[in-house]
Structure formats: structure tokens, C-alpha cells
Structure 1
């Protein structure tokens, strides 16, 4: 092909892909607004699901926990049916558990809820991933202090196994990193130079580290996992009170709600282009569009 015609063709292809992707995205969102939940957590004991983690070791399995006012119990449920298949009772004092995270075989429980912002200390509990079945476990307890009390409902653990917390406030939220946790004495959380959106109710890192998500009452925010810059904001499924989010794979999350018989919705995420492609004009956009089209056609 003539080089001049090739140079003229590439922008045209990009524009065509953009139009097709926009149509596919619009169609996908229209379908998403009417989508049915994957399942419902029908166990009558699960009434205020405030944390969600998807197992990598057991197929079709997720964990949840109620927040304050309930026994300290982690429930294992089938994602496809919502059926409870395991109950793990935590032999520990828990004030207000608000989030779960899984990393490298360890299940983390964030005892970080503080609606009145009065707690001097919050805590993370850690236990081996339970799997199906019933048991009682004494978790490791890590006490944490903040620079000022805050309500926290979001816990996410990065690829290196370092927990992060995100505050739930009406204005801009704060992000904390927890290094060198110890069961012997409290650890001061390091506040990062990152601004989170208002009213964050849960968060998670993708299993391959390619992205992160923050859940708010207004939407699902997809972030670059390294810079924490927002790459996309998606509308919420029809939930009464969106409180939980967890990755099933790098391109999909489950989003859940508080309440009895609470639903779990599967939400497709846009791909986040690797930063290495950003230096090549047009290439990153092309990769994103192709990934988005591929996802819409699944």
C-alpha cells in the first residue's frame, strides 16, 4: 500500500473503532441496567454484607461478613447460587468489620468501621483462607492507629501483600498504607498523597495487579493500580445500598449490597492500557478499544 494512503487509513480505522466501541459500550450499559443478579445470598443470617472476597483456591466461592451488631462470622458462599457452604467463627473481639480481602492464602478482615469517628485504634484480622465447611479460628490481630479517627469501609491488599485502607467521608477520601504490621504493638498507618472519591464503601486490587476499583454510592471507579488515577467510572447495578466489591478476574467484578437476600451483580470493566503504550501515539487507544470490543462480544 502507498505509505501516504496508509497514513491516511490509520486515523480512519481508529475513528471507526471508536464509533463501534461507543455503540457497543452504550448497548452494554443499556443491557447492564436491566441485568439480573448472578445470585442472591439467601442465608437469613447474612443481612448486612459489608465485605466480599473471591477465592482463587476454590472455584465458585466467595466470602462475606456482616458489619457491627452481628457475631464475628465469615460466610463462604457459592457465587453461582448464593448458597452458604461454610461458616468460620472468629475467636476474637470485633467492633465493626467492614471489608474483606484475600492475598496469597490469607483472608484479611478489616475491623475498621467508625461512623462516629471516635475510635483510637482500629484493627486488621488475618486468618488462613477457610474454604467450605464450618470451623472456629483465632485470627492474628494487628492494631492500627490513624493520624485522625475516620470511618473506613474499604480494604485492599496489593501484589506485595501490603494492606491499604480508604476512608469513607462526604468529601475527598484519604488512602493509608500499612507497612510492617505487628501483633505486638499498634502500627501507625502512613497516609498517602492520594485523593479518593467521596463515600467509598469497598475497594480491591485486580488479581494480576493491572488495576484497582473503588466502590461508592455513585459508581464503580476503575483506577490505574500504580498511580491511583481514575481511568473510568461505571454506573452501579440496581442495588439498594452498594457495599461490597471483589474481582473475579482482571476484567470483571462482583458488586453486592447490604440487606436480606442481597444480590450479587457481575460488572465488566474496561481494560486499562499499560503505561508503556502511552508513549506510542494512538497505540494505547487502539489497544483499549480492541479490548473493550472483545469484552463486549463475550
Structure 2
């Protein structure tokens, strides 16, 4: 082999090795959530094109609710889960809903709608709307409106968690690097702004929805490609796994013993996935006893796209190095 090509071979092998390691890592992460995915049905209503909220009915067996996000009428669709057929539509009145991003149902059967989407982060009219779940049939309901503010700034929030036992409510912002978790007051007011207080620790990046498990023991936050299991009482991260591939994974809701995930797009699938296993946090060794205990969001699994970007970046850097070395070699030869 030409010595000049031999020098180029080693960096090339390093790039290949890096790619193999990354792909293997992603495959291991995918095992958890994709082991037993089941497509339950497709939401075939042509009006449902941007499903951004999902909730499982507490009062009507086999019914789930969804709602489109910005630019659509304030309609909540009641879906027969086993067929994906729309069996009811509820028009929400009582305010101007502009970017609805999440749905949740509390222990009393109240359906909560989060009108909190704000891609430009400049809204001053974010709010939660509450109404009794209506089930099948067509309805028009004047919902109670609860104005929401966070601090001096505005935030894009696409995730609402309502605890199935206590009724406690959390919001999670959608951010590039990590989301902020906000706690709402125990009692909400319709005639004044309700301040959502930022909590210690962070959520994953790009959170598109979240839910508590049916027993309230865990909170699950989802992104476009992954979902993350948290201990609801301690707020610590337990596990992070991949979700099945979807066009634009936006929604998540809890069934009795599993989760449902959904996506934007026409004729979008509702997929049943197992709840991620609650992998325990490592017990600190005596030498680590003086170190602070990880808070919520510490050591979060990195999103797959960040792995890809890292791989591409590393390959580009190595490729540039290879090109420079090759150019130098040719210059030496020509000289």
C-alpha cells in the first residue's frame, strides 16, 4: 500500500469506529420502548391533522380525547380507541384558544386543556381551560378559564401533568437544551393570573407532552423520539428510552398499565407502549457521600439527534484533518 494512503487509513478507521459505537448506543436505547409497541388504531377523522394533546377518558370506557394545536378550531375530539373513529366533538367556549398543546383529566373527571403553546415566546394570554369530559356526541361547553403566567418572561409550554390522586398540576416548557418544570397553585383562580413557579431541576430537551402514570407514582415526559420516566415524589430521573418512530411525536397519555403515544399528521397512529422500567439510581459509595444527590434532570439521556450531530461533527473534524494531511503530503511530494 502506498505510504501516503496508509496514513489516511487510520483516521478513516477512527471515524468508522465512532459511527459504529454511536449506532450501537442508539440500538441499546431503542430496546426499552420498542420491545412491544402495538399500533392500536389510526385517527381517521380528516379534521385531526395536528393532534397535540391526548387523554384517556375516566368516565367512558375505550374513549380517548385529542385536540389540534394552533390555527385550528377549539374542538376536542372523542375517539373510540379500538377503531380510531371520532364518536364525539366538543366545542370549547369561554375564551380565545390560540395554541392548545396538551390535555389531562383529573380524578373528578374534569378535562383540562393547556392553551400554553408559544413558539415565539411572547404570549401574555396563556391559560388552562377546565370542563367536564363530555364523551360521545356533539357538545358546546363554556369552560372555566384560568390565566397563567410564569415570571417576567413568556415560555413555550406543550406539556401539562395533572396528578391522578392529588390533582397537583405541573407544566413543562419546551426548550432546546432542557425544559423548566413549573408548579401551579393548588387552588386556581379564574379572576386573577395564576403564577406557575419554576421548580428545582430540569426536564429533558424539546418536551412535547407529559403524563403521570395511572397510579401517580411516576411522571413520563416525551420528546419527538424518546420518553423519560421520573419518580413523581422525588423528582429524580429513573430511565430514558426511545419511542416508536412517528412522523412528529407529540402526545402521550397513561392507560391502566401502559402508555399511548400519538403524532401529528393526517390518519396518525395511536401506539401502545410499555411503561419504561424504573431502573434505580446507583447508590452512592462512601467516597461519593459528600457529593450532592442528583436532582431532577441530572444525567439525562441525550436525544438521538444530538448523537447524530456529534457524530457528524466529529466526522467533519476528522475529515478536515485528513484533507489537510493529504494536502500537506502532496505539497511535500511536489516540492
Structure 1 length normalisation: TM-score? 0.79
Query: Per the alignment, do residues 177 and 31 of structure 1 end up closer, same or farther by CA in structure 2, a change over 3 Å counting?
Result: closer
Q: Which residue, out of 166, 169, 174, partners 2:172?
A: 166
- Name the Cα RMSD after superposition: 2.3
CA distance 1:205–1:35, change in 2 (3 Å): closer
Give the C-alpha shift of residue 194 in structure 1.
Answer: 2.4
Which residue number corresponds to residue 39 of structure 1?
41
1:33–1:238 CA contact under 8 A, matched in 2: no
- Alignment-derived partner of residue 188 in structure 1: 195
Aligned to 1:293: none
Q: Would the alpha carbon gap of residues 272 and 118 (structure 1) be closer, same or farther in structure 2, given more than 3 Å must change?
A: same
The corresponding residue for 2:321 is none
1:161 partner SS = coil
Runs of at least 5 residues in structure 2 that lack an aligned partner in the other structure: 1-27, 284-335
User: Is contact 2:126–2:149 with CA below 8 Å preserved after alignment?
Assistant: yes
Structure 2 Cα separation of the partners of residues 215 and 133 of structure 1 = 30
CA-CA distance at 1:188 after TM superposition: 1.2
Q: Does 1:117 align with 2:121?
A: yes
Aligned position for 1:134:
138
> Runs of 4+ in structure 1 displaced over 6 angstroms?
none
Q: Deviations over 1:11-60 (max 9, x none)?
A: xxxxxxxxxxxxxxx8x939937955110000000000000000122111
Inter-CA distance 269–163: structure 2 relative to 1 (3 Å threshold) = same
Alignment TM-score, normalising by the size of structure 2: 0.71
Structure 2: distance between partners of 1:139 and 1:163: 18
Distance 1:235 1:271, change over 3 A: closer
Give the corresponding residue for 1:286: none
The question of 1:247 aligning with 2:254 is answered: yes
Give the direction of change, closer, same or farther, for the CA distance of 1:30–1:106 in structure 2 (3 Å limit).
Answer: closer
Secondary structure, counterpart of 1:43 in structure 2: coil
Deviation at 1:214, TM superposition (A): 0.1
Residue 153 in structure 1 maps to residue 190 in structure 2: no
Report the counterpart of residue 236 of structure 1 in structure 2.
Answer: 243
The structure whose residues are more often strand, as a share, is 1
Q: Tell me the distance in 2 between the aligned counterparts of 1:171 and 1:128.
A: 36
How many pairs were matched up?
A: 251
What CA deviation, in whole Å up to 9, does each residue of 1:34-91 have, x standing for no partner? 9551100000000000000001221111000000111000000011110000100011
1:223 and 2:227 correspond: no
Query: Are the equivalent residues in 2 in contact too, given 1:101–1:107 (CA < 8 A)?
Result: yes
Structure 1 residue 210 corresponds to structure 2 residue 212 = no
Judge conservation of contact 1:167–1:175 (CA < 8 Å) in 2: yes
Q: Which residue of 1 aligns with 2:92?
A: 90
Indicate how the Cα distance of structure 1 residues 252 and 264 shifts in structure 2: closer, same or farther if over 3 A, else same: same
Shift of residue 272 of structure 1?
A: 3.4
| Larger-Rg structure | 2
Measured in 2, the distance between the counterparts of 1:199 and 1:69 equals 21
